[in-house]
Structure 1
Amino acid sequence: MTQPHALPRLSEVAADYDVLLCDVWGVIHNGRESWPEACEALTKFNEQGGHVVLISNSPRPASDVIAQLDSLGVPRDSWKAFVTSGDATRMELARRAPGPVWIIGPDRDAPLYEGLGLERADGAADAAFVSVTGPRFDDVETPEDYREALTPAAGRDLELICANPDRIVQRGDKIIYCGGALADLYESLGGRVTMAGKPYGPIYALALTEAEQLMGRPVDRSRVLCIGDGVVTDVLGANQQALDCLFIAKGIHGDAARGDDGVIDPARAQVLLNKETAYARYAALDLKW
């Protein structure tokens, strides 16, 4: 595939786009702190008449995640709208109410289920389907910790709804597992998985609807740029929607795309993309204006 163009600064192509669909974790923060230069780039884009829509695979509704962005120091003027995998997944969950549903995930993800009229099951034996947001204790657990529990669910052919398709994210200097890693395990056990977040269509439909409302007119898809660090989520999602993409090739990728001169090496970035047969128009180590 064609190598991405090195894009050290967003300002070089900002005039070509009306809308940025920007990933959150791994682009503007790492779960512990926000990155001022990335936030500034989004703010500048908005100030010049653009529209930034944050698009995150967080399993919670956007309204519940905004407080986290505030606590990490992400300026409110760096984005105009915010959609999450949780927002898209709530539609899937509502269609399956009242369940009962066997829920796997940390207590902080409880807002995903509020107001949906779902009954809760204690395990696979009495569930109509499974809902996963991630490991219950993601700072210490791995997907293998769930193999024994999920095997009976797959054996009963229970559908698993995964509210966070991300496999891993970087929290501070540590890599942690997310819901997508549990979904991969479930599929390996022969189970059925449904996801609505990136790279799947429902979350993009929500994000583009938000952009249209901001602009007061239909979106020209040729003037939409997706930004993200996840190849199987952000980049493939952009590819499936036929949208341009800026691949942030640092974060979870470490120095794999860094050249010997310390800047992005498009050939090394392409190696990362080739693993998933993905394409990005641009690549950068960090988001900067």
Structure 2
Amino acid sequence: MFVDLWGCVHDGLRPLPGAVEALQAYRAGGGRVILVTNAPRPRDSVAEQLGRIGVARDAWDDIATSGDSARLALFRGAVGTKVWHLGPPHDAPFFEPPRILDDPAPIELVSLNAAEGIACTGPFDPLADLAVLRPQLLAAKTRGLKLLCANPDIVVDRGEVREWCAGAVAQLYAEMGGESLYFGKPHPPIYDLARRRLAQIADVSDDAILCVGDGVLTDARGAMGEGLDMLFLSGGLAAEETGTVPGGDPDPERLAALVAREQVEPRFAMGTLR
């Protein structure tokens, strides 16, 4: 299984009820679990966070992050070598050169005025109106800077609080006429990385892979684009829209309306991973 993290396994603060146990049981029966997340950080940083919030290590085999996929592009010079970091300071691990690159580009973090490109790991304040970034994004667009988006998610729920993600900034930049580059779900690079992680532990064909996620625009579209089966968890980002109550499953009519409107076709659906 290629399993999304935020909204499926944890809520940013604690594991979701039943999710860790479900993955442990799946692995105990011989299944393999690659966590595929749009977190804008390296794999080791995500693994450390999982341990800190109580996600057991025996619930997963490996991790593929949007951050790792985007870092490979960054250190290959996708947006130049003088880069402005648009994001919170705690995303600093994003700028550590990937170990798998023999000759990484010499990335230097600079001010926007001196930058050749932008690396966006999220807004500076995930709760603020994104309009506060318009002056800086307009200046960047006027100079033709490319924006590398390390997390295509638009929003995420941290506990009960909804926060903006890097994908929302990249979307705004594109709407303003700028060029945004994406590397997480639903785009191919992160799935290529997930397959490489899986291949290191097992030989599994695409028709034996099940994607699990709660994002229609990221998880569902990504799985469909890759030709992979998907289990859509309606109790995450789409809980209100699908009428999914805690511990329950989606209202069939509301779920059908959602997938029809977004033109996605998950093979399976349930409320939460359990």
Q: Report the TM-score when normalising by structure 1.
A: 0.88
SS in 1 for 2:47: helix
Q: CA deviation at 1:259?
A: 6.6
What's the % identity of the aligned pairs? 39
CA shift, 1:275, in A, is 3.2
Partner of residue 281, structure 1: 267
> Which string of whole-angstrom CA distances, capped at 9 and with x for unpartnered residues, describes residues 52-88 of structure 1?
0000000000111111101111010110011100110
Farther-moved stretch of structure 1 (129-138 vs 110-119): 110-119
Q: Which moved more, 1:102-111 or 1:263-272?
A: 263-272
- Inter-CA distance 259–104: structure 2 relative to 1 (3 Å threshold): closer
Query: Where does 1:1-289 land on structure 2 (aligned, <5 Å)?
Result: 20-96=1-77, 99-115=81-97, 117-123=106-112, 125-138=113-126, 140-215=127-202, 217=203, 219-258=204-243, 263-288=249-274
Match of 1:7 in 2: none
- Counterpart AA for 1:118: I
Is this contact kept in 1: 2:235–2:244, CA < 8 A? Answer: no
Unaligned runs of 5+ in 1: 1-19
1:209 is paired with a residue whose SS is helix
Residues 69, 183 of structure 2: 8 Å contact kept: yes
Q: How far off its partner does 1:32 sit?
A: 1.2
Contact 1:59 1:164 in 2 (8 A): yes
* Aligned twin of 2:101: none
Q: Where does the alignment leave 5 or more consecutive residues of structure 2 unmatched?
A: 98-103
Alpha-carbon distance in structure 1 between the residues aligned to 2:171 and 2:244: 32
Look up the SS of the partner of 2:242 in the other structure: coil
The range that moved more, 191-200 or 270-279, is: 270-279
Give how far 1:144 is off.
1.3
Return the letter of the residue paired with 1:267.
E
1:17 maps to which residue? none
**1:270 Cα deviation from its structure 2 partner:** 2.5
Shift of 1:267: 2.7
Name the CA distance, whole Å, in 1 between partners of 2:119 and 2:260: 31
Q: Please list every run of at least 4 consecutive aligned residues from structure 1 whose deviation after the TM superposition is greater than 3 angstroms.
A: none
Distance 2:228 2:2 in 1: 10
Q: Is the 8 A contact 2:223 2:229 kept in 1?
A: yes
Structure with more contact order per residue of length (Cα contacts < 8 Å, sep ≥ 6): 1
Q: TM-score, normalised by structure 2?
A: 0.92
Give 1:252 shift: 1.9
The CA RMSD over aligned residues, in Å, is 1.7
SS at match of 1:268: helix
Give the direction of change, closer, same or farther, for the CA distance of 1:259–1:114 in structure 2 (3 Å limit).
Answer: closer
Which deviates more from structure 2 when the two are superposed, residues 229-238 or residues 33-42?
33-42
**How big is each residue's C-alpha offset from its partner over 1:91-119, in whole Å with a ceiling of 9 and x where there is no partner?**
11011176101111011111111135311
Count of residues in Structure 1 that have an aligned counterpart in Structure 2:
265
User: 1:278 and 1:253 mapped to 2: Cα distance?
Assistant: 14
Report SS of the residue matched to 2:85. strand
Task: Supply the AA of the counterpart residue of 2:239.
Answer: G
CA distance in 2: counterparts of 1:25 and 1:145, whole angstroms: 26
